[in-house]
Amino acid sequence: MLTAELMLQTAPASLTAEATLAACRPRHPALGTSEPTRFRRSSPSRKVASPEPLSKPVPTSLRDHPLQRLDLCRIARHGRVSAATASFVHALLSGAGRRPALLTPEGGLMAGRLFPQRPKISEAFEWERLLATHVRSGGDCLIIEEDSEIRELLAGVSPRSHLQPPTSPRAWIQAQALHWRGSRLQVFSNDGTPRTAHLPLVGGSNLLALDLALNRVIHAGCCPTRTLATLPSLDPPTGLLEPVHAGQPYGVFVDRASCAADLAELLAEARTLSGRRIVLVTGIHGNSTPEERQALGAAAAAADEVVFTSDNPRHVPVASILRDLQAGLGGGALEEPDRHAAIATAVRRAKSDDLVLIAGKGSRPLQEIGSAVIPWDDRLRARDALAGRGWVGDSL
């Protein structure tokens, strides 16, 4: 077919310009008219079906979810013990040659990267993408500290297998010496041979969690001898009586205890660590009620010295939070709204063999004051305070 331009060039001179353009107009396939397309109107009764979308979203249950290629270890959330158990299972499986990922209410550790944010249902696709990255990098299992949101996040997907706890113990831990510098343990397995282990772990919650983790890992098929051989290199769980060592002659620990029950448990464990006095730094977030603040203040009475400070006050005046904490304690605590200055005060008041407990935030990386969100790390602030007293080394 000739193009319009070619037809215009070859049209006879006797044809007018209007006739030439009419000859170039497209013809209706049925009527044979040369009416321009812009003047044609469809019948009102005629309905044109909307085109099908190029691709429809596939439900998660029908996709190849990365969890289907992983062994799943579920740990029910139960305060400080479950958090430490999940951390130890991850470390022990890694030491046994497995490639685990970790997902907890505090965040995730996948493909060697730490994600310190709470998993949300609205971000389910993002966490699925991270799990797929974990699988592509050679990951073979996932450990979760389960709460309602993580349970919903993985709902409807079946893993390759479940790493269940044993019905009967496969290993036993017996504490021989507990000190703020570390613990000496005797570990028994089914072969009956006791092994002595010196670990930097302190606190009853951490030792109970280690016992649960050992049993779970050995029951999963890992070699008991190889698993127990990794104990001396085991690091303390993040934010759970986590030590800050700079060569000082007293213990400094960071802990996530932020409610009255957790703080009471923390102080009870600290009393077993052969320390002389306990100097406590604590606060509570601005979303708490006056009753929760007073309960936390009452729990702090188990310490020998208390420094009340801020802990994500948000838009609540820090003075009102401190007033409620003092009311629960019955008065007598030091008050320092600046958390960095409060940590420095506690470290400055510590003497040989004392324990300084910095409670509330643990490894949570932010401090929220008013509308400001400030990067924060209690461990780094504690090191700064120790350096201010001349302690900058790592020796014990």
**Percentage of residues in the chain having pLDDT higher than 90:** 64
pLDDT of residue 195: 87
Report whether pLDDT(164) > 50: yes
Closest alpha carbon to 199 in 73, 92, 81, 357 = 92
- Kindly report the three-state secondary structure assignment for every residue of the chain: CCCHHHHHHHCCCCCCHHHHHHHHCCCCCCCCCCCCHHHCCCCCCCCCCCCCCCCCCCCHHHCCCHHHHCEEEEEECCHHHHHHHHHHHHHHHHHCCCCEEEEECCEEEECCEEECCCCCHHHHHHHHHHHHHHHHCCCCEEEEEECHHHHHHCCCCCCCEECCCCCCCCEEEEEEEEECCEEEEEEEECCCCCEEEEECCCCHHHHHHHHHHHHHHHHCCCCHHHHHHCHHHCCCCCCCCEECCCCCCCEEEEECCCCHHHHHHHHHHHCCCCCCCEEEEECCCCCCCHHHHHHHHHHHHHCCEEEECCCCCECCCHHHHHHHHHHHHCCCCEECCCHHHHHHHHHHHCCCCCEEEEECCCCCCEEEECCEEEECCHHHHHHHHHHHCCCCCCCC
Residue predicted with more confidence, 292 or 63: 292
List every span in the chain annotated with CATH 3.40.1190.10: 65-162
Given a cut of 60, whether residue 70 has pLDDT beyond it is yes
Confidence of residue 63 (pLDDT cuts 50, 70, 90): low
Q: Which position has the higher pLDDT, 31 or 299? A: 299
pLDDT tens column, 6-28? 444 444 444 444 444 444 454 44
pLDDT (tens digit per residue) in 201-226 = 999 999 999 999 999 999 999 988 88
- What pLDDT is stored for residue 135 in this prediction? 96
State which of 24-28, 175-179, 249-253 shows the largest mean pLDDT.
Answer: 249-253
d(CA 31, CA 287): 75
Q: Across all residues in the chain, what is the average pLDDT?
A: 85
The yes-or-no verdict on residue 29 having pLDDT over 80 is: no
Is the separation of the CB atoms in 347 and 356 below 8 Å? yes
- pLDDT higher than threshold 80 for residue 144: yes
pLDDT of 208: 94
CB 244 within 8 A of CB 254: yes
Residue listed under structure tokens 């290199």? 233
Among the ranges given (55-59, 72-76, 336-340, 352-356), the one the predictor scored with the smallest mean pLDDT: 55-59
Higher pLDDT, 347 or 45: 347
pLDDT of residue 42: 47
pLDDT at 363: 78
pLDDT reading at 367 higher than 80: yes
pLDDT of 72 reads: 97
Position with higher pLDDT, 29 vs 302: 302
Which stretch, 52-56, 139-143, 146-150, has highest mean pLDDT? 139-143
Residue 33 has pLDDT above 50, yes or no: no
- Torsion angle of C-alpha atoms 58, 61, 67, 69, degrees rounded to 10: -90
In the CATH scheme, what is the code of domain 65-162?
A: 3.40.1190.10
Q: For residues 252 and 351, is the Cβ–Cβ distance under 8 A?
A: no
Whole-prediction pTM value?
Answer: 0.80
Residue of 194, 195, 175 lying closest to 185 (CA atoms) = 175
- Kindly tell me if the per-residue pLDDT of 266 is higher than 70: yes
pLDDT at 188 (0 to 100): 87
Q: Is the pLDDT of residue 339 over 90?
A: yes
**Could you tell me which residues are beta bridge partners of residue 171?**
189
> Range(s) for CATH 3.90.190.20 in the chain?
242-388
Angle at 341 between CA 336 and CA 342, to 5 degrees: 50
Look at residue 71 and tell me whether its pLDDT is greater than 90. yes
Token pair recorded at residue 254: 């960071």
pLDDT per position as a tens digit, 281-336: 999 999 999 999 999 999 999 999 999 999 999 999 999 999 999 999 999 999 99
Examine the pLDDT at 261 and tell me if it is beyond 90. Answer: yes
pLDDT band at 157 (very low <50, low <70, confident <90, very high): very high
Q: What integer pLDDT is reported at residue 9 of this predicted model?
A: 46
Give the C-alpha separation, 228 to 226, whole Å. 6
CATH number of the domain located at residue range(s) 242-388 in this protein: 3.90.190.20
What is the mean pLDDT of the segment spanning 145-163?
93
